[in-house]
Amino acid sequence: MDRLAGDDRRTGAVIAIATAVFGVGIVVIRADADQLGRPVAVEVVAQVVGAVLLGVLWRWPLWAYVACVALSVYSPVLAACVCAFLVGRRLRQTREVVAVVLGAQGLLVLGWVVSARPWQPGHLAAMVTLTLVAWILGGAARSAADAAETRATAEAARRVHLAETVRAAEQDRLAREMHDVVAHRISLIVLNANRIESGSAADVVEVAGQIRQTGRAALDDMRQVLGRLRHDEAAPGLARLAFDEVDGLVAEMREVGQPIAVRIVAEGRTPPDAAERTAVLVVREALTNAVRHAPGADTSIEIADGPGAVRVRVTNGRPSGTVDHEMTTGGHGLLGLKERVAMLAGTWNAAATPEGGFVVEATLPRADQ
């Protein structure tokens, strides 16, 4: 039989005392109505004994129920109803439990008949009915508690899932941010190092200086992202991105041999809005991919204001130089940009061109339009 090891004995004692008090009160009321078949003292003792059985067998409600029902053959005790409620509330209603509950009621009726009907038939019917009703109510209370526990468990699982989803989204965001501010500069470092290694750099000292300068800029960008991770502050490296940054990006790419044409007819904002910052990120990633996958190819950048949006388009032709295949792995940058554009409710396209080149284009709505 089920046993609730965690029940508080003090609670059992309090309920047993309350049961004894109410049981004695019922005896007094019945005595005033002249409905007792036995002396008042005997009835009072029966109520007290039933309450004691309830308290002693508090952790074993089914045994307490059987004992109190057996006592009720002699004199109906309130403790039997309380025990019936506890059986329904605290025990799983297995076939064995149901059989014991109903069997005890059958024995109560049989005992009443065998013992020459010590109390009135109406009282017997009331006793059986009240005991069974108490048992049913206890079962209903258990079902309600189980349902509440199930809902609480589901809610806890939902909260855990939500927290994990938020954490994963934050990790993805930080990964994209790290890629946005670092991958471009690392690519420049590798390209300049390749120039030195291949002997194509006319001034090795100058190229080495460019590598050093780019490396320091990459470290600064990484510190900004890590600072945001530690303190949840806005990363200055991304917050200050504006159309003016495009000139610097173009200059860096031209230094490594990428011919680039630029056309910007868009209005910059102070401070730059999300559309402007994202447009610069699109240009940065597209240029990085161009020097990786199509070194030496003619590349063009177009940024223009459209109806309520910024339109950016970066295209490159076929590669004219040797492709470093160690630099062509990844692809996470374009995926991250696609997600950024989607967050702005913009449109995105990144695809190969019929001429063998590649195009990246996006339409980025202005927040105030």
Which pLDDT score is estimated for 224? 66
Q: Where exactly are the structural domains of the chain? A: 9-119, 241-369
d(CA 139, CA 175): 53
pLDDT of residue 321: 64
Q: What pLDDT does 335 receive? A: 82
Judge whether 78 and 125 are in contact, CB under 8 Å: no
Nearest 5°: the CA angle 266, 268, 269 is 140
CA distance linking residue 203 with residue 212, whole number of Å: 14
Non-local (6+) Cβ contacts of 114 within 8 A are: none
Rounded to whole angstroms, the Cα distance separating 160 from 173 reads: 20
For residues 290 and 316, the answer to whether their CB atoms sit within 8 Å is yes
Residue 57: CB atoms within 10 A of its CB come to: 21
pLDDT at 162: 87
Q: Name the nearest CA neighbour of 178 among 361, 332, 15.
A: 332
Q: Does domain 241-369 have CATH number 3.10.580.10?
A: no
Entry pTM? 0.49
CA atoms within 13 A on the CB side of 329: 2
Q: What are phi and psi of 40, to 5 degrees?
A: -60, -40
Tell me what pLDDT residue 291 has: 85
- The ranges of the chain with pLDDT < 70 are 1-8, 30-38, 116-119, 173, 177, 179-181, 197-202, 224-241, 321-332, 369
Burial class (CB in 10 A: 0-12, 13-18, 19+), 245: middle
Per-residue confidence (pLDDT) for residue 210, from 0 to 100: 75
DSSP 65-120: HHHHHHHHTTS--HHHHHHHHHHHHHS---HHHHHHHHHHHHHHHHHHHHTT--S-
**Spatial distance between the Cα atoms of 314 and 253, rounded to a whole number of angstroms:** 14
Q: What pLDDT score was predicted for residue 235?
A: 47
The predicted structure's pLDDT at residue 38? 65
pLDDT of the residue at 180 = 66
Q: Which of 305, 303, 320, 275 is nearest to 360 (CA)?
A: 303
